[in-house]
Chains A and B, each alone.
Chain A
């Protein structure tokens, strides 16, 4: 299947899902990473598959956060009042290049590219900082990977659907201390399409849409050397606080019923949920081991299996939005969390950037 055909599959399924035809779509937003497939201007290249023939289409590209950036762009297309139904598309075919080689091209060509070897060393540094500060263990992180991979068993669309144990993670090859092979995301091919609609259009499509209650973005850093590895993920802390305020959420773990988080590696599932305010600082291991983030727990995280189970980069963050929307709409099948009112999705990428996207079954 070529890239355009992959996009066609996702778009046509999304249209079937909301019982619309391509004629009903007023505009399209698409995103991926150019050098992962060496496709320049995927907006114009894709139209046959994306449905963009004789429609407005634009391309958004912000790295790992591309998917949430696409969702947010689609949201503003509708919020502007100019468009009623807008398609958001994220896609990637990581099988078409050397993923690490392509990721290296995101580093600064003057300062970093000769020594940079992909995201793992910087994530490892962040993990070490967290372990030192919190007293967490590698097993605690492994528990996160086990959770996400276990949840993936409920998701027919997930890439990796083989259950693993904490011991499996601990025995998997060390990539860069303390990150082991089973702590990190795979490389996947895939596409995701989400239809955004205005209030009136949404009501005509479904009795139970996922209403967007807030979206917040922090892409503050431009230089790898500016990130404080020992502090929290400031971008996520700030974006989530802003989003909570917009949506009127005062106690996130009580008011958010399910979260789809862009966790590219297991340690993020500890540190970052503290930055999201799901649990107190340094208490994430306890929170995760308690089962609070499992299916049936207080705030299930990644019922879809998350990024550790599926990572088609340009689609990854949009998948978080799509999965969080599915939860609000009550259409998660085996992976459904009961009675979801508020759901949260995040995006992560670039230079430790974060996006936060909140949805609700109650219209804001």
Chain B
């Protein structure tokens, strides 16, 4: 059709801009308040499979049972996987290059995702790292500012 040829297709810019507020729940709130108030990292253990979870869970996904066996974990652990990030993205928690790592804290069976900002050249799986707590803590996962290679 003639008019289709003679019509320039336009685009329209826009956004979805809404504030979200995710409830953390009792289990997560206990974890995050301990992080914030005491600088302690808590985990919990499934009564059935004995997996120690961090962050702690209300229930074990695999066993489908509620968990209420709490323990304090170390603030050190081992890198089980890592990547050095070199592309920019405005939600990144640090300028590039920085690394994401999965870190298995001492006493835990699962690994926690976090950030490593220094000595990236020495970063390898198996490396030991220690949590660096933020000075101003407000009850979220960035109350651990990053992990530092030991």
Asked if B6 is at the interface of the complex by the 8 Å CB criterion, the answer is: no
Asked if A286 is at the interface of the complex by the 8 Å CB criterion, the answer is: no
Interface residues on B, range: 20 to 34
Asked if A47 is at the interface of the complex by the 8 Å CB criterion, the answer is: yes
Residue in contact with B23 in the complex, picked from A95, A102, A105, CB distance below 8 Å: A95
Q: Assess the A109–B64 pair: CB atoms within 8 A.
A: no
What sequence of 0s and 1s flags, for each residue 4-44 of chain B, a beta carbon within 8 Å of any chain A beta carbon? 00000000101010111111111110000000000000000
Asked if A246 is at the interface of the complex by the 8 Å CB criterion, the answer is: no
With A1-B26, A2-B22, A2-B24 known as contacts, the answer to whether A110 contacts B59 (CB < 8 A) is no
Residues of B within 8 A of A314 (CB): none
Tell me, in angstroms, the Cα distance from A110 to B22 when the chains sit together.
Answer: 30
Asked if A49 is at the interface of the complex by the 8 Å CB criterion, the answer is: yes
Asked if B58 is at the interface of the complex by the 8 Å CB criterion, the answer is: yes
> Closest residue to B18 on the A side, CB-wise?
A101
Asked if A17 is at the interface of the complex by the 8 Å CB criterion, the answer is: no
Q: Assess the B14–A113 pair: CB atoms within 8 A.
A: yes
With A93-B23, A110-B12 known as contacts, the answer to whether A53 contacts B61 (CB < 8 A) is yes
Number of A-B residue pairs, CB cutoff 8 Å, is 60
Q: Assess the B18–A35 pair: CB atoms within 8 A.
A: yes
With A2-B24, A2-B28, A113-B14 known as contacts, the answer to whether A98 contacts B19 (CB < 8 A) is yes
Q: Assess the A22–B18 pair: CB atoms within 8 A.
A: no
Q: How many residues of A contact B (CB 8 A)?
A: 29
Asked if A290 is at the interface of the complex by the 8 Å CB criterion, the answer is: no
Asked if B57 is at the interface of the complex by the 8 Å CB criterion, the answer is: yes
> Closest residue to B53 on the A side, CB-wise?
A48
What sequence of 0s and 1s flags, for each residue 45-84 of chain A, a beta carbon within 8 Å of any chain B beta carbon? 0011101011000000000000000000000000000000
> Closest residue to A25 on the B side, CB-wise?
B64
Kindly provide the distance from the CB of B15 to the nearest chain A CB, expressed in whole angstroms.
10
Kindly provide the distance from the CB of A56 to the nearest chain B CB, expressed in whole angstroms.
15
Residue in contact with B64 in the complex, picked from A1, A3, A22, A101, CB distance below 8 Å: A22
Residue in contact with A12 in the complex, picked from B19, B21, B64, CB distance below 8 Å: B64
Q: Secondary structure of the B side of the interface?
A: mixed
What sequence of 0s and 1s flags, for each residue 296-312 of chain A, a beta carbon within 8 Å of any chain B beta carbon? 00000000000000000
Q: Assess the B20–A38 pair: CB atoms within 8 A.
A: yes
With A35-B18, A51-B64, A113-B14 known as contacts, the answer to whether A8 contacts B23 (CB < 8 A) is no
- Within B88-102, which residues are at the interface with A (CB < 8 Å)? none
Residues of B within 8 A of A49 (CB): 59, 61
- Within A1-48, which residues are at the interface with B (CB < 8 Å)? 1-5, 8, 12, 21-22, 35, 37-38, 47-48
> Closest residue to B12 on the A side, CB-wise?
A110
> Closest residue to A39 on the B side, CB-wise?
B22
Q: Assess the A102–B64 pair: CB atoms within 8 A.
A: no
Asked if B62 is at the interface of the complex by the 8 Å CB criterion, the answer is: yes
Asked if A96 is at the interface of the complex by the 8 Å CB criterion, the answer is: yes
Q: Assess the B58–A96 pair: CB atoms within 8 A.
A: no
> Closest residue to A109 on the B side, CB-wise?
B14
Asked if A137 is at the interface of the complex by the 8 Å CB criterion, the answer is: no
Q: Which residues of A contact B (CB under 8 A)?
A: 1-5, 8, 12, 21-22, 35, 37-38, 47-49, 51, 53-54, 93, 95-98, 101-102, 105, 109-110, 113
Q: List 22 A-B contacts (CB under 8 A).
A: A2-B22, A2-B24, A3-B22, A3-B23, A4-B58, A5-B25, A5-B58, A12-B59, A37-B22, A38-B18, A47-B61, A48-B57, A49-B59, A51-B61, A54-B62, A95-B21, A95-B23, A97-B19, A98-B19, A105-B16, A105-B18, A110-B12
